Amino acid sequence: MKTVMPILASAVALTAFASAAQAQEWSRQDSGLYVGANYGYLKVNGDDGFDDNNDVWQGLVGYRFNSFLAVEGGYADFGSYGDGIVNADTDGYSAAVKGSLPLTDSIEFFAKAGQLWYDTDYSVAGLTGSSDNEALFAGAGLNFKLSEQLLLNAQYTWYDAELSVDEIDQDSDFDTNFNQASVGLEYRF
C-alpha cells in the first residue's frame, strides 16, 4: 500500500498537469487574429426607387480574445442598385463586437453588432452627388470548422442605412435598409 500511494499521487499529478497544459493550449487556439471574406446576396429596401437586389462582397479582419468574444473590422462593397431613374453605389467600413457560442466541436453560432461608415454615390433624375453617413448593423450566423484554422460561414446581416440627397431638397433623407445573406471563409492564425 505504501508503494501504491506515491504511484497513485504521481499519476494524479501528471494527469492534472496534462489537463492544465491542454486547457492552456486550447485557450491559445481560441484567441488570436483572423481574416475572412464573404460573398452574397443583398436586398436593398428603400424609399423612392432605391429597391433592388445585388451582389455584395466583404473583407474582414478580427481579433478573438477567447472562444466567446471578438472585435472585427471590415470593408463591404454593396455595389450599384436602383431603378434607372434613381441609382446609387455604396461601400463602407465597419467595426463590430462579435460573440460566439460553440455548439459542437465543429459548429459555432455567432452574433455581431456594430457601426458602418459608408459612402454613397447617387444619381436621381440626372442629378448626381455623394453622401457620407453611418449606420448601425446587426447580424448572426454559423461557422463550420473545415480544419483547425479554416472555417466556412453562413450569415445574415441587417444594416440600418440612410441616404441624404442634398441636391434635391435640404432635408431629403431616404431610409434604405440593406439585408445581406452571405457565405464566406475565415482563417484563424
Are residues 49 and 137 located together in one domain of the fold?
yes
| pLDDT score recorded for residue 172 | 57
> Is 131 in the same domain as 177?
yes
79 and 7, same structural domain? no
What is the SS3 assignment for 34-67?
A: EEEEEEEEEEEEECCCCCEEEEEEEEEEEEECCC
- Same domain (yes/no): 144, 71: yes
Our count of domains for the chain comes to 2
Q: What are phi and psi of 2, to 5 degrees?
A: -65, -30
131 and 99 share one domain: yes
Question: Same structural domain for residues 45 and 2?
Answer: no
Task: Return all residues near 51 (Cβ < 8 A) that are at least 6 apart.
Answer: 44, 45, 81, 83
**Do 104 and 170 lie in a common domain?**
yes
Note the pLDDT of residue 132.
87
pLDDT at 23: 40
Residues 94 and 18 reside in one and the same domain = no
Instruction: Take residue 83 and report the three cell numbers written for it.
Output: 431603378
Going residue by residue through the chain (189 aa), what tens digit of pLDDT does each one get?
A: 454 445 544 544 444 444 444 344 434 458 899 999 999 999 887 655 566 788 999 999 999 999 999 999 999 999 887 777 778 889 999 999 999 999 999 999 999 999 999 998 888 777 888 888 899 999 999 999 999 999 999 999 999 887 766 555 545 566 678 899 999 999 999
The pTM of the full predicted model, rounded to 2 decimals, is 0.75
State the pLDDT at residue 25: 40
Predicted confidence at residue 28, as pLDDT, reads: 46
Whole-angstrom distance, CA of residue 37 vs CA of residue 183 = 9
Pair 111, 68 in one domain: yes
Percent helix, percent strand, percent coil in the chain, to nearest 5: 15, 65, 20
- Whether residues 23 and 62 share a domain: the answer is no
What domain range is 1 assigned to?
A: 1-30
